[in-house]
Structure 1
């Protein structure tokens, strides 16, 4: 059992500590990526200290996401447990062939089960004004890929523990980290918020509530970086006596809505929120599954929010206008309650 995290632990520190501990405990773990060596320690400093502690198992790579992701697959087939860092999630498009057509298929395509324990970590999302090729949320491209587990922890989760669970899974995992969560202190119950696991599994759904008595007025289902908008909004709406239950699944694919069904049936109003662009998205699948199971008890049509289906601009004003924001979520909640 790991020691509890200090109260001030940030999302980034949790990931970094987990990497250091795992590499200390298991010599099969290698870390690959661009610009990950000390003193730089990666674009978001998640690998800080790794190359100093484990110089032979931290491999800085050329700018070839397809190349080093393929290398990691080969290493995994030979019994190692590589962790790959893709510097920006946008570059997953370059590695998609290796992820979808190789590591995910090698698990079963040769007529027998093979262990392909690769974890591909990457920062996703906007909020920093990095422009069209460094700010997207592309995880929906990979959802539904057979044999590929897609995980996206919020800061109501302990991302370091989930990264440990991803490595222990022994199968290909795409591990999504919203870049705006890195400096955030991990959420804990206190004040208006109560946070608890809704499920007991390696990649749990966390439940965040802004009330202690009665039932939720609206169930919000979201993941990853949306938690940074939803926590302060929940505190604000507690003062307005609007009860919110916020379910934050870490496991995006393969997906099950079973843990959400009692909450959805109880309150009858559901809002799905994601930062990825609208259309053929995660929320559409969640809505379809929820509706099939709860349509008789719903008080309003299931509502969905996603970012506009546009290219992300570099300007702060343009980015804010395109991405889902707290005001959009608040407006949709009030619309559901009208």
Structure 2
């Protein structure tokens, strides 16, 4: 099934399995079912626990925090991730702090789902990937949806912990087919799963065995999907072999799978759609350069979108945002 339907089934399963789970968000009730139709049918099946809210992200955050403190497991939808800015104070200064402030006597396990990313011509305030602004916040997990991580596994992890989590879902993932590894493969790519104890799995994809790859590529979300296509094409057409590392959780990061790959290749390219500068990729470059300084053949290459507003024109938008061409150019440069 397509990712949006898989996510819908995941939320239905969460509502069925735990009466503490409630869904909140703007226009998520039927017949609309949310801006990207992820919640379609859920308010009909669970009318008391799937509730459309006023157009106020601050109110959604506050209500969700209160419900979580009262023992519920709220899942809040943010229609466009750009409006996470309106929730920032409550997420950073309230949800993320309660458990530590009250020595574990209060927990605030809110799951915030946010549709992020561009390439749809939605313009400067409806196309951004703002997750980098939440990275490094103590006691807040940031997890990125991908086509290689089953949302059922991811949400089971969320609902089994007492921490708040931000789950970013790139809009272009919704119509794509989930391609979780089957029998050690994703399409024509060799697939493996790598994780430290207690961490969500990191998926590793390559056209040849990992020990034969000359470049490591670290990417999440929709950019991981683009990177996988580039890696497969370069392997077939030019025998440039790269290993793609796709984490689910991007903060705090499980660096062990990245280290294991780069220790073999000696080269790392990071890919993200967020704006360049002070980014996830920059943190990856810092960590890997420090831990594997003597084993790197070249500096880590950070691929990110231009540090400017995102145009509404699709042609201009494509020039600003990271796409397949930028990913391919970076991998080629790293492989030389």
Smaller-chain TM-score bracket: over 0.9
CA distance in 2, matches of 1:40, 1:131: 23
3-state SS of paired residue (1:108): helix
Deviation at 1:202, TM superposition (A): 4.9
Aligned match for 1:265, one of 263, 275, 278? 263
User: Runs ≥4 in structure 1, deviation > 6 angstroms?
Assistant: none
Please give the residue correspondences for 1:1-338 in structure 2 after superposition, counting only pairs within 5 Å: 9-187=1-179, 188=181, 189-199=185-195, 201-212=198-209, 214-239=211-236, 240-338=238-336
Deviation at 1:298, TM superposition (A): 1.0
3-state SS of paired residue (1:169): coil
CA distance in 2, matches of 1:26, 1:268: 46
3-state SS of paired residue (2:303): strand
3-state SS of paired residue (1:46): coil
Q: Which whole-Å deviations, capped at 9, do the CAs of 1:8-47 have from their partners, x for residues lacking one?
A: x221112110100110111100000000011110001111
Q: Which whole-Å deviations, capped at 9, do the CAs of 1:192-238 have from their partners, x for residues lacking one?
A: 31222121645221111111475211100011111221121122112
Task: Tell me the C-alpha RMSD between the 2 structures.
Answer: 1.4
3-state SS of paired residue (2:304): strand
CA distance in 2, matches of 1:29, 1:173: 15
Question: How many residues of Structure 1 are paired with residues of Structure 2 in the alignment?
Answer: 330
Does the 8 Å CA contact 1:41/1:49 hold for their aligned counterparts? yes
Give the direction of change, closer, same or farther, for the CA distance of 1:263–1:59 in structure 2 (3 Å limit).
same
Structure 2 unmatched ranges of 5 or more:
none
Q: Which whole-Å deviations, capped at 9, do the CAs of 1:37-84 have from their partners, x for residues lacking one?
A: 111100011111110100011111000101121111011111111100
CA distance in 2, matches of 1:186, 1:315: 29
Deviation at 1:108, TM superposition (A): 1.7
CA distance in 2, matches of 1:107, 1:217: 44
CA distance in 2, matches of 1:190, 1:71: 40
Give the direction of change, closer, same or farther, for the CA distance of 1:36–1:127 in structure 2 (3 Å limit).
same
CA distance in 2, matches of 1:113, 1:221: 37
CA distance in 1, matches of 2:186, 2:91: 40
CA distance in 2, matches of 1:51, 1:196: 37
Q: Which whole-Å deviations, capped at 9, do the CAs of 1:233-278 have from their partners, x for residues lacking one?
A: 1221121211110001111111231221121011111101110000
